[in-house]
């Protein structure tokens, strides 16, 4: 399993920018999972491992977009009503099989194939509400108005998909619409990448599983549960390694064992420089750390490294910081390792409803919700508490305002970049 191609990005612990982080992730991480075939019904959330070339046209025949009457355009008067004999009907699954002659019309229903005929066949469809029918000498006729355009209400063969075209590209994250498109071409199975195998570990003597009796000084572990949900949303197979105490020897054993059977190991906490923060030393001993201090708030102690052939991602212990760094560092790394085409999440310009000061050289992510100012402008309102441990800030917010490294002061009503949670799978 090829991971980082070289170690040219190793640093000495100095802060690196998010630009440098993205460069490493985008240019130095490779797909590490093999391919497999899965039933189309089970393909949701998987990553496509092949280009899909359509073997058919969709739709496979010219058909009607409405309920109405199929006619030859050249039979129509441009200035007055036209009367045409109704000779049959075409319904979805029950096409009109005879050749339609000039001067004739058929009833046609939405999705029904256009009938064949002489001189190219009928080419125009009137909506039934625009027409009148009556019987003349026991012969049913349709009376159609002038002014319709040639080809109206007709859907052409191959209008959606043309045979031989590439309809889905390798690396696409398969959603309902991609699966539906594949099914429309007759596919029942599809080639995807196998799910990334990720092991997650929380660390800290103060951390306890929910449901445990919590002693004085202890906290319940929210990070592992959030991380599990985040990874599941990316389609990963997750192994829960539980909580490791602040014991360097035990942490080393756990990580070394997990590296033999997983594509990625992820930890939370233990990446700072305190006496009981052992993750950095353990990973440095077992493998390499490529970066571990990022100029980002919240979430500075976030790391990328490697243990043998397994990628290591270390996230902060503070819950809000863990979530921010997962979304902006870990998530793109995991998608890359999973075979996905990396597409940066879109940001949108909004006004901020507050004044803000920040340090230079650091990218900040403020948790915000949107409101309308009455003039049609979206305004971002900051969550009142900014601490890296305030998990309620993510529950009660709708997205981030992303503030770049080079700006230190933002006036109220400044246009800024807004990253909605929906762009990163929340």
**Tens digits of per-residue pLDDT, 258-292?**
999 999 999 998 776 555 568 888 998 999 988 88
pLDDT at 186: 96
Q: Tell me the per-residue pLDDT of 377-392, one tens digit each, with 9 for 90 and over.
A: 999 999 988 778 788 8
pLDDT tens profile 113-141: 999 997 789 999 999 999 999 999 889 99
Identify the sign of the CA torsion 329, 334, 339, 345: negative
Does pLDDT of 11 surpass 50? no
Q: Could you tell me if 112 and 228 lie in one domain?
A: no
When divided into structural domains, the chain yields a total of: 4
Q: pLDDT-derived band of residue 13, with 50, 70 and 90 as boundaries?
A: low
- What band does 158 get if pLDDT is binned at 50, 70 and 90? very high
- Asked whether residue 229 falls in the same domain as residue 304, the answer is yes
The range of the structural domain enclosing residue 120 comes to 63-155
Supply the CATH number for residue 50's domain.
3.90.105.10
Q: Residues 6 or more apart from 152 whose CB is under 8 A from it? A: 124, 125, 126
Whether residue 13 lies inside any domain: the answer is: no
At residue 189, the pLDDT reads 97
Mean pLDDT computed over 316-333: 90
Q: For position 57, what pLDDT does the model report?
A: 97
pLDDT at 256 over 60: yes
For residue 10, is it within any domain? no
Domain annotation covers residue 12: no
Please check the confidence at residue 8 and state whether its pLDDT lies above 80.
no
| 145 lies in the same domain as 269 | no
- Asked whether residue 98 carries a pLDDT value surpassing 60, the answer given is yes
Q: Is 366 within the bounds of a domain?
A: yes
Residue 273's pLDDT is 59
* Residue 72, in any domain of the structure: yes
Residue ending a domain, choose from 126, 155, 184:
155
Mean pLDDT for all residues in the chain: 91
**In this structure, are 173 and 43 located in the same domain?**
yes
| Segment 149-159 mean pLDDT | 96
* DSSP letter string, 313-354: EEE-SSHHHHHHHIIIIIHHHHHHHTTPPP-PPP-EEEEESS
Token pair in block for residue 223 = 């990070």
Q: Report if residue 1 sits inside a domain.
A: no
Under 8 Å between Cβ of 48 and 171: yes
The residue among 362, 352, 385 whose CA lies nearest residue 297 is: 362
Q: Which residue has the higher pLDDT, 164 or 270?
A: 164
């Amino acid at each position: 399993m090829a991971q980082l191609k070289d170690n040219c990005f190793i640093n000495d612990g100095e802060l690196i920018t998010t630009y440098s982080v993205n460069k490493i992730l985008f240019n130095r991480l490779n797909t590490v999972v093999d391919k497999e075939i899965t039933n189309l019904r089970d393909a949701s959330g998987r990553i496509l491992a092949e280009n899909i070339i359509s073997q058919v046209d969709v739709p496979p025949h010219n058909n009607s977009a409405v309920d109405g009457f199929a006619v030859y355009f050249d039979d129509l008067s441009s200035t007055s009503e036209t009367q045409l004999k109704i000779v049959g009907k075409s319904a979805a699954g029950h096409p009109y099989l005879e050749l339609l002659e000039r001067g004739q019309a058929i009833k046609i229903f939405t999705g029904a194939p256009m009938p064949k005929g002489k001189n190219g066949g009928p080419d125009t469809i009137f909506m039934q509400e625009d027409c009148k029918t009556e019987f003349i000498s026991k012969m049913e006729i349709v009376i159609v108005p002038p002014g319709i355009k040639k080809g109206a209400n007709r859907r052409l063969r191959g209008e959606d998909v043309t045979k031989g075209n590439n309809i889905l590209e390798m690396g696409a994250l398969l959603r309902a619409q991609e699966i539906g498109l594949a099914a429309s071409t007759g596919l029942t199975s599809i080639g995807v990448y196998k799910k990334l195998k990720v092991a997650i570990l929380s660390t800290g003597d103060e951390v306890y599983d929910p449901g445990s009796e919590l002693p004085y000084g202890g906290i319940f572990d929210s990070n592992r549960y959030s991380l599990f949900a985040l990874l599941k949303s990316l389609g990963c197979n997750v192994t829960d390694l539980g909580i490791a105490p602040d014991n360097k020897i035990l942490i080393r054993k756990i990580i070394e064992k997990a590296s033999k059977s997983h594509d990625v190991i992820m930890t939370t906490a233990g990446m700072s420089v305190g006496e009981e923060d052992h993750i950095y030393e353990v990973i440095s001993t077992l493998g390499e750390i490529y970066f571990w201090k990022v100029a980002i708030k919240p979430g500075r102690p976030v790391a990328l490294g490697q243990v043998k052939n397994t990628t290591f991602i270390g996230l902060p212990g503070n819950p809000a910081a863990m979530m921010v760094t997962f979304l902006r560092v870990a998530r793109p790394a995991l998608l890359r390792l999973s075979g996905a085409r990396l597409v940066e999440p879109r940001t949108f310009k909004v006004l901020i409803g507050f004044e803000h000061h920040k340090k230079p050289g650091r990218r900040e992510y403020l948790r915000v919700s949107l409101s309308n100012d009455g003039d049609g402008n979206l305004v971002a309102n900051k969550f009142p508490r900014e601490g890296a441990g305030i998990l309620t800030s993510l529950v009660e917010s709708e997205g981030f305002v992303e503030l770049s490294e080079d700006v230190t002061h933002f006036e109220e009503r400044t246009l800024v970049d807004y990253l909605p949670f929906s762009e990163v799978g929340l």
